[in-house]
């Protein structure tokens, strides 16, 4: 089988470059810099969610599914730089050439990866390939919205219409999966300021686990998994994360109906 990599990333405001763009005084704290950027954003578009090119990656979590491997983990460690995290991700992509699966990856995760790869001078043999060097990528590549090499579950379930988009948390609750626990994306910046990167990494892992569970349900609905195979995959995944013996996984399992 072609390996499948389900992924999710968490970001904070790109403080260094926000300072450059708005020519902000070096004496301003990071907190004040973000408040200024948020204010300018609200003035421009009515909300303070910063544009994707001003997002800095602090965590990428993955579920890797191959013929003989199923694993959930977060790339690098708490001391790994953004460039190091990206290198881990793209090196893995070049090694396995997997099908990518995401929730809102086309609208958020992949564009952020694009901007940050260039910002950190990270290269990949396969990620940006669209058939110029490898002919099999012409009709199935990571860049196209409609190719299987990257499956954005939210996008396809919404029939590629933004007005139909749904939150991963609500979809998981409807399907009987854990969904969000004690954190969401809106609290990542605050948690980072408090020096708690571990909680962000744990949150990212449970988010990618939720995405994997929705992906399995999607495969069942497409008849790519039989009912028996689906149950086996669900049971196997539950057993995998039961063995991790960490509090965020204990909470995830308790919330799993």
Residues 154 and 166 sit within 8 Å (Cβ to Cβ)? yes
Chain mean pLDDT for the chain: 96
pLDDT for 198 equals: 97
pLDDT for 182 equals: 82
Q: pLDDT tens for residues 110-166?
A: 999 999 999 999 999 999 999 999 999 999 999 999 999 999 999 999 999 999 999
The CATH code of the domain that includes 79 is 3.30.420.10
pLDDT for 226 equals: 98
Average the pLDDT over 80-100 and give the result. 97
Half-sphere exposure at residue 221, Cβ-oriented, CA atoms within 13 angstroms: 10
Instruction: Answer whether residue 84 shows pLDDT above 80.
Output: yes
Contacts for 58 with CB less than 8 Å, ≥ 6 apart:
10, 11, 12, 82, 85, 188, 192, 197, 200
Contacts for 110 with CB less than 8 Å, ≥ 6 apart:
102, 142, 150
Q: Could you give the CA distance from residue 95 to residue 84 in angstroms, rounded to a whole number?
A: 16
Instruction: Answer whether residue 88 shows pLDDT above 80.
Output: yes
Residues 11 and 58 sit within 8 Å (Cβ to Cβ)? yes
Instruction: Answer whether residue 42 shows pLDDT above 90.
Output: yes
Q: pLDDT tens for residues 177-204?
A: 999 998 888 899 999 999 999 999 999 9
Instruction: Answer whether residue 257 shows pLDDT above 80.
Output: no
Q: Could you give the CA distance from residue 224 to residue 121 in angstroms, rounded to a whole number?
A: 38
pLDDT for 123 equals: 96
CA-based torsion, 249, 251, 253, 255: positive or negative: negative
Q: Which two tokens stand for residue 94?
A: 């070049």
Model pTM greater than 0.75? yes
Q: Name the one residue in this structure whose structure tokens are 């977060």.
A: 74
Nearest to 197 by CA among 34, 102, 81: 81
Nearest to 58 by CA among 121, 8, 118: 8
At 252, the pLDDT band (50, 70, 90 cuts) reads: very high
Q: Which domain holds residue 86?
A: 4-255
Domain count, the chain: 1
pLDDT for 183 equals: 81
Grouping H, G, I as helix, E, B as strand and the rest as coil, residue 55 is strand
Half-sphere exposure at residue 68, Cβ-oriented, CA atoms within 13 angstroms: 0
């Amino acid at each position: 089988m072609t390996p499948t990599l389900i992924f999710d990333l968490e970001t904070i405001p790109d403080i260094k470059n926000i300072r450059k763009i708005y020519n902000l005084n070096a004496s301003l704290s990071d907190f004040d810099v973000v408040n200024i950027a948020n204010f300018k954003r609200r003035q421009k578009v009515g909300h303070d969610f910063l544009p994707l090119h001003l997002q800095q990656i602090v965590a990428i979590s993955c579920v890797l599914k191959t013929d003989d491997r199923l694993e959930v983990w977060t790339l690098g460690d708490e001391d790994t730089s953004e460039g190091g995290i990206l290198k881990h991700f793209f090196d893995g992509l070049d090694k396995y050439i997997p099908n990518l699966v995401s929730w809102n990856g086309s609208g958020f995760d992949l564009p952020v990866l694009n901007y940050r790869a260039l910002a950190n001078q990270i290269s990949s043999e396969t990620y940006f390939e669209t058939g110029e060097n490898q002919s099999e990528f012409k009709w199935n590549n990571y860049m196209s919205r409609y190719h299987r090499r990257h499956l954005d579950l939210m996008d396809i379930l919404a029939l590629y219409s933004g007005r139909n988009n749904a939150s991963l948390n609500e979809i998981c609750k409807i399907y009987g999966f854990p969904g969000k626990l004690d954190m969401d994306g809106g609290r990542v910046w605050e948690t980072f300021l408090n020096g708690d990167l571990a909680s962000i990494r744990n949150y990212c892992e449970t988010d990618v686990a939720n995405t994997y569970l929705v992906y399995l349900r999607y495969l069942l609905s497409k008849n790519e998994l039989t009912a028996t195979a689906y149950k086996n995959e669900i049971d196997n995944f539950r057993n995998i994360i039961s063995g991790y013996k960490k509090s965020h996984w204990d909470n995830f399992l308790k919330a799993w109906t």
